[in-house]
A and B are shown apart, each in its own frame.
Chain A
Amino acid sequence: MNGAHDLGGMHGFGPVERERDEPVFHADWERRCFALTLAMGAYGAWNLDATRYARETMPAGEYLTTGYYEHWLHGLQRQLIEQGLLTREEIEARMARLRGESDHGAT
């Protein structure tokens, strides 16, 4: 697939930026997204090539302006929906419920 992920040889991304004493994960959602992706990979409904393909279907502009584990999240959600393990509606509904709970907790 000749998408935005195929970065080799492209110009214009600037210097390589390194972080001193970089942690393995930068936020808890990255940890959970990483583990969910591995666990669902082990579940066996798809293989690694399919996982990569699912990440690479992210729209090019979005791919280039989002973080690494957001690509994973995009791929995971797409595969879960495509394989019929979850529906988009139930994901949105669960997000709304969790949002409500956290709003309630904050007041």
Chain B
Amino acid sequence: MTAREHEHEHGSHLAEVDLRVRALESLLVEKGLVDPAALDVLIDTYEHKVGPRNGARVVARAWSDPAYRARLLDDATGAIAELGYGGRQGEHMMAVENTPEVHNVVVCTLCSCYPWPVLGLPPAWYKSAPYRSRVVIDPRGVLAEFGLVLPEETEVRVWDSTAELRYLVVPQRPPGTESWSEAELAQLVTRDSMIGVTRALSPADLHAGSEAT
């Protein structure tokens, strides 16, 4: 098969998928089983409202407030709810804290379990076969692909999420941020750092990023 034929076949396959989804939606709406307006609200919520900025607020609070940090590590679901986040796919949360001795990274080998209320929907790579298969047997190799090379003496813990329990990594607070406010700190906390595949940004990274944009 030529590349063009292959592309065409892929395209017509997706056209059938698109058609099937539209068929299901029109039938379910017709039968009164779903409300199209409710579908639009769900899409808007997860496309625009829920995302890693929520988790960044949680981490920045934990960095700034030792009592909050203690509550987060003891009962993450409750501590996250204090900031107003919870619900679907975040009913039971556990926070795992990175230190110079221990680095945590999260996966869902079986599917795509992910803490929606604090991180939004997962990126495609998190749901992909390469990440799910390999991070549990070669975490250092995978982290290196993300640009994170850990010292040999740092222990790596890989947490395999389940439908019942979801994890939030609390990355290490970058040096040079001692006087920063919570809102400033939150800018350093990226989605990937809360999955555990990178560190939080440094003040220099943030500066470079804002110059680039």
Name A residues whose Cβ lies closer than 8 Å to a Cβ of B.
Answer: 5-11, 13-19, 22, 24-29, 31-36, 38-40, 43, 48-49, 52, 55, 64, 68, 70, 73, 76-77, 80, 85-86, 90-91, 94-95, 98-99, 102
Pick the residue among B18, B27, B38, B120 that contacts A24 (CB under 8 A): B120
B133 interface contact, C-beta 8 A? yes
* Shortest distance between the CB of A10 and any CB in chain B (Å): 4
Q: Which residue of A lies closest to B126 (CB)?
A: A16
Q: Given the interface contacts A9-B137, A29-B22, A31-B43, does A16 sit within 8 Å of B38 by beta carbon? A: no
Known: A7-B109, A36-B39, A39-B39. A94 touches B27 (CB 8 A): yes
- Chain A positions within 8 Å of B28 at CB level: 36, 40, 80, 85-86
Which of B24, B121, B145 is packed against the most chain A CB atoms within 10 Å? B24
Q: A15-B145, A39-B35 are in contact. List 11 more A-B contacts (CB 8 A).
A: A6-B110, A8-B136, A16-B146, A25-B43, A29-B22, A34-B43, A35-B43, A38-B42, A77-B24, A91-B24, A94-B27
Known contacts: A24-B47, A43-B33, A94-B26. The answer to whether A17 contacts B125 by CB under 8 A is yes
Are the CB atoms of A85 and B130 closer together than 8 Å? no
Q: Which 7 interchain pairs have the tightest Cβ spacing?
A: A8-B109, A94-B23, A35-B39, A10-B133, A13-B130, A29-B18, A7-B132
Interface of A is mostly: helix
Measured CB to CB, the closest approach of chain B to A38, in angstroms, equals 5
Residues of chain A lying within 8 A (CB to CB) of residue B70:
none
* Known contacts A5-B111, A55-B111, A91-B24: A11-B39 contact under CB 8 Å: no
A-B pairs with beta carbons under 8 Å apart, 19 shown: A8-B136, A8-B137, A13-B128, A16-B128, A16-B131, A24-B46, A27-B18, A28-B18, A31-B47, A35-B42, A35-B43, A36-B39, A40-B28, A55-B111, A64-B129, A73-B17, A77-B20, A90-B27, A98-B26
In the complex, B160 has a CB within 8 A of chain A: yes
Most buried by A among B14, B19, B40, B107: B19
B residues lining the A interface (CB < 8 Å): 14, 16-28, 31, 33-35, 38-40, 42-43, 46-47, 88, 107, 109-112, 120-121, 123-125, 127-134, 136-137, 142, 145-146, 160, 163
Which chain B residue lies CB-closest to A23?
A: B47
Distance in Å: Cβ of B166 to nearest Cβ of chain A: 12
**Residue of A at shortest CB range from B19?**
A95
Contacts of A19 in B (CB 8 A): 123-125
Instruction: Report chain A residues within 8 Å CB of B40.
Output: 35
Q: Is the CB of A16 within 8 A of B142?
A: yes
Instruction: Choose one: B24, B145, B163; the contact of A36 (CB below 8 Å).
Output: B24
Identify the interface centre among B20, B28, B31, B163: most chain A CB within 10 Å of its CB. B20
Please give the distance in Å from B12's CB to the nearest CB on chain A.
Answer: 11
Report chain B residues within 8 Å CB of A48: 163
